[in-house]
Structure 1
Amino acid sequence: MRPKALLALALTAVLAATGCGSGATSGGGPVRLLVFGAPEELAAYRTLIDAYGRARPGERVQLIEASDRKDLLARLATSVAGGSPPDLFLMNYRFYGQFAAKGVVAPLDDRIAASDAVDPADYYPVAMEAFRWDGKQLCLPQNVSSLAVYFNRTLFTRYGVPEPRAGWTWNDLVGTATAMTRDSRGLVIRGTEAEGAARLPVVHGLGVETSIIRLAPMVWSNGGEIVDDPAKPTRLTLDTPAAREALKNLVDLRQAYGVVPSDAEVEAEDDESRFLNGRLAMLMTSRRATTNFRTVTGFEWDVAPLPVYRQPVGVLHSDAYCMTRGARNADAAWRFMEYAMSAEGQRIIAATGRTVPSHIETSRSPAFLDPTRPPRNSQVFLDAIPTVRALPTVSTWPEIEDASYGILENAVHRGDRLDDVVRDLDVITRPMFARGENG
C-alpha cells in the first residue's frame, strides 16, 4: 500500500479512536514529542528538552524522530488510528489541516485562557492565525520564518559581484545569478549552452525548489493570486497574467538563463549540499537551513530578502506544537508547551539557529539577532514578517503541493509549454480542492 493510501486509511479511523476522549488525561511516563528534521535541527530540540528537564526536575520528554515529513505524517496517522498517539507533534501549518479536519488535534483555547505563561498577544498574529481552525486555536507556533536568499559572500567577493540587498528586483536576481554562474576558469557562462566540459558550470548562480511554496511569493509580489479564494479555495489561479508571468520567470531560470542546476545535477547533489560545498552562489530557502549552514567553515555567508516585483511579499513558514486529542499525558504535555513557548524556551531554540521566534520580544533579542553568529543580517527575517502571507490550510493541501511539484519540476527542467503546465496543474489539483475541508 502506498504511503498516501495508508495515510488516508488511517485517518478514517481517527474519529472513532478519539471521539470518546477529552485529551485531558494524565497517564504517566514521559511526554512523547514527534518531530522530523535534519540532524542539526533534531539536536536543537534535544537542547530544548534537556533545558526543560533541568528547569523542571522530574518532568520528562521523549523525542520521537521521524526520518522526513512523509514519515512524520504516516507515523502520526497510524499511531492515532492505533490508539497510541504521541502527546505532542511539531508540524507546519501547510500540513496540519488534514488532522484538524478529522478531530485529531486538541483545541488549546481553555488551556491558554488559564495559563500565566502563554499570552497570545506576545506572539506574531500571522503565525497564531495560521493554526486557527473553525475558530479555535489548535496549535502554538514556535516560529514565524519566511523565505530568504542565502548567499555565499566569499564567492561574491572573489568575482567582484555586488551582493543582493533590500529592494532588489526579479531582474536584479536574474542578472546577479547570471554573473555568478561560472566555469572552472572562473568565467561567466551565459545561457544554457556549454562549449565542452571546460564550459560546464562549477558554480551555479541560484538554487530554488520547483514548488508552489517558492512560486507563491513571486505571484503575490506581482499582484496575482495562486488560488481563487484563500479562505475556501476551489482551484489554482495560475492562468492569470500576473501568475503566468511569475511562472514563466521561474521556468526561465533554467530554460533561458541556465543559472539553476539541471535536473541531473540536482539528483547528484541537492541544492543545500551544493551551497554547503561552495558550488552555489545563492539559495532561496527558509530559516531552518541555518542550523546546517552554521557548520560551514570554508566561506562566509549571509542572507538577503526576496526580490520584489511590484511589492514586497513573503510566504509564511511556521511550525507549531500540537497536542493530540488522545494524548495520555495531556497535562504534562501542556506544561512542556508552556515552557517551549515562553521567552526562555524560545531563546534556547533560537540560539541554535533553527527558528525565527514567534515570541515577539525574543525575536528582537540577541538570542536571535546575535551578529557574531551567521547569518549576520538576521534582521532580514524580521523585516519580512509584516509582508508574509499564509498558504491555504485546506486539508488536502499536502496532496496539492506534492502533485504540483512534479509538474513544476518538469516545466523548469524539460521546458514544457506554459499552457500545458497551467492546464495540467488545474486538471490534477481541482479534484483535490473539491475533497478538501477548510477550518
Structure 2
Amino acid sequence: MTTVRSKSLLAAALCGALAVTGCGSGVGSSSQEQIKLLVFGAPEELAAYRTLIDAYEAARPGERVQLVEASDRKDLLARLATSVAGGAPPDVFLMNYRFYGQFAAKGVVEPLDGRIAASDAVDPADYYPVAMDAFKWHDQQLCLPQNVSSLVVYYNRTLFARYGVPEPKPGWTWNDLVGTATAMTRDGRGLVIKGTEAEGAARLPAVHGLGVEPSIIRLAPLVWSNGGEIVDDPDRPTRLALDSPAAREALKSLVDLRLAYGVVPSDAEVEAEDDESRFLNGRLAMLMTSRRATTNFRTITGFDWDVAPLPVYQRPVGVLHSDAYCMTRGSRNKDAAWRFMEYAMSADGQKIIAATGRTVPSHIETSRSPAFLDPNLPPRNSQIFLDAIPTVRALPTVSTWPEIEDLSYGILENAMHRGDRLDDVIRELDAKSRPVFARGENG
C-alpha cells in the first residue's frame, strides 16, 4: 500500500440564497482557498465532519472548509440541484451511491481519474473495490468513497440478559431472528406477547423485538440471501423483479414480522417514535440498520449493546452502504477541493471519522486499525462489519433509483402494516417501476 502523505464548500452566496443554517467551520474567512462541503446527518454525524474539518485546517494552514449542513437526504438533494441550477454549487458534497446517479447523468460531477493518477495520496489499491466500483459511472471514477458499511443487527445486550434470551450469533438464520424477536417482544410486565392483534393479543408491548423499515435496501439482502434478485438485470435494470419464488418468500418473511408475529412496531408507533429513537430509549431489543447509527448509539449510558450479522437464508449476503466525496464540475476552486478530498480519504482523515463511530473506513489499512476496531468503544464486535465486506453487493446504479426507492417504500409499507395482498404488491411494484427505470440512465 502507498504511504499516505500530507499535501500542502456552496459559495458564500449560496448560504444566503438557500437560507442555510449551521454553516460551520470557515465562516467569515476571506481566504481564496475556502471551499464548501455539503453534507447531511444527525447532530452527532455533523459533529464528526466538523472534527474532520478542524483537523484538516490545523494540518493545512491557510486552507478553509465551510460545512454546509442539510437537514436530511431529501434536503441535500434539493439543495444540490438548486445550487447547480443557480450556478453556485458546493465544491464537494457527500452522497450515497444510490443517489448520485441523477447528478452523474447530468454532468454535475467532476471525473477524478486524472487527479487520482497524479496523486501521491490516493491509490485505488488502498481501498475496498466494492466501494470504489459503486462510484464509477461509464467507467470513470466520479467520487471517492469514505465508507464501506453494510446492514447489521444492533441489539440491547442488557435486555437479552434480563430476559435470559441467547444473544444472536454469526450464522443465525431468518427463523432464528423471528424466534429471538418473538421472545424479546414484551408487555409492560415483562411477559412475552403471544398471538397477533387480530387474535386479540391486545396490549401494546413495552419492548418490541425488532425494528426494520419496509424498504428496498432492507429487503434486498434478504432476497439475495434466498437466491433471488431485486431487479431483472443488475447491470441494465428495467424493472423490480420480486415475482420469483425466492424473492416472494423473502418479501413475505419481511411483512410477516408485523402481520404474523407482531414483533415490529406498528406504523402509528413508528410515526410517534422512530426505530432508532426507540432503540436509544431501551424499548427496542434489536434494530436492523447500518454503521451510521453507531455515532448516535455511543451516547447511550443506560444499557449495553452490540452488533450481530444479518441472518441467513441460503448464504450470507450484505447490501452496500457507502457515501463518497464528490467534486462538482462547477466548483470554482477544484485544486483546493481536491486537496481536502485527498486528506479526507487518507489514513489520517479516515481515522478521524472512524473514531467518531460514523464509518466503516473504505481505506483497508484504517479499517483494520484501532481507530475502527477499538475494543473500548461500542460496538465491541465491529469486526462483524469487516467480515461482511466479501459478501456485500451494491444496488443498481441508475439515475432514477431515488424515485424507485421512494415509490416502493409506500407500497412495501402498506404491505407490512395494512396487509395488502402480496400478489397485488408485487404487481404494483412491477408496474410502477418500469416507466421510472425506462427514464433512467445506467452507470
Could you state the TM-score of these two structures normalised by the residue count of structure 2?
Answer: 0.92
Q: CA deviation at 1:190?
A: 2.0
Name 2:195's counterpart in structure 1. Answer: 191
Matched, 1:242 2:242: no
Give the letter aligned to residue 335 of structure 2.
Answer: D
1:313 is aligned, of 303, 310, 317, to 317
Q: Going by fraction, where is helix more abundant, 1 or 2?
A: 1
Which residue in 1 is equivalent to 2:8? none
Q: CA deviation at 1:191?
A: 2.7
1:210 matched to which residue of 2? 214
1:340-379 matched pairs, under 5 angstroms = 340-379=344-383
Residue 5 of structure 2 corresponds to none
Distance across 2 between alignment mates of 1:115 and 1:188: 59
Q: d(CA) in 2 for partners of 1:239 and 1:252?
A: 17
Kindly indicate whether the alpha-carbon contact (under 8 Å) linking 1:231 and 1:392 is maintained by their aligned counterparts in 2: yes
Q: Which whole-Å CA distance do the structure 2 matches of 1:372 and 1:166 have between them?
A: 21
1:323-355 deviation per Cα after TM superposition (whole angstroms, max 9, x unaligned)? 000101100000000000000000011000000
Percent identity between the aligned chains? 87
1:339-375 CA-partner distances (Å, limit 9, x unpaired) = 0000000001100000000000000000000010000
- Show the counterpart of 2:301: 297
Q: How many angstroms apart in 2 are the aligned matches of 1:322 and 1:361?
A: 22
Specify the SS of the correspondent of 2:83. helix
2:71 aligns with 67
| Contact 2:154/2:307 (8 A) holds in 1 | yes
Give the counterpart letter for 2:239 in structure 1.
R
Aligned to 2:326: 322
Residue number among 127, 133, 152 corresponding to 1:129 in the alignment: 133
Paired residue for 2:161, among 154, 157, 170? 157
User: 1:41 maps to which residue?
Assistant: 45
| 2:365 is equivalent to residue 339 of structure 1 | no
SS across alignment from 1:52: helix
Give the aligned length.
Answer: 413
Q: Which runs of 5+ in 2 are unaligned?
A: 1-30
Aligned residue type for 2:205: P
Q: TM-score if structure 1 supplies the norm length?
A: 0.93
CA distance in 2: counterparts of 1:159 and 1:188, whole angstroms: 10
- What secondary structure, in the 3-state scheme, does the structure 2 residue paired with 1:216 have? helix
Aligned to 2:388: 384
Closer/same/farther in 2, CA of residues 72 and 263 from structure 1, 3 Å limit: same
In the alignment, is residue 96 of structure 1 matched against residue 115 of structure 2? no
For structure 1, the residue ranges without an aligned partner over 5 or more in a row are 1-26
Equivalent residue letter for 1:207: G
Q: Which amino acid aligns with 1:419?
A: D
Query: Any idea what SS the aligned residue of 1:248 has?
Result: helix
Q: How big is each residue's C-alpha offset from its partner over 1:292-316, in whole Å with a ceiling of 9 and x where there is no partner?
A: 0000000000000000000000000
Letter in 1 for 2:367: S
Instruction: Give 1:193 deviation, angstroms.
Output: 3.1
- Equivalent in the alignment of 2:276: 272
Partners of 1:110 and 1:193 in 2: how far apart? 60
Alpha-carbon distance in 2 for matches of 1:288, 1:190: 33
Q: Provide the rounded CA distance (Å) in 1 between the counterparts of 2:264 and 2:82.
A: 39
CA separation in 2, counterparts of 1:438 and 1:290?
32
Counterpart of 2:287?
Answer: 283
Match of 1:426 in 2: 430
Tell me by how many angstroms 1:200 deviates: 2.1
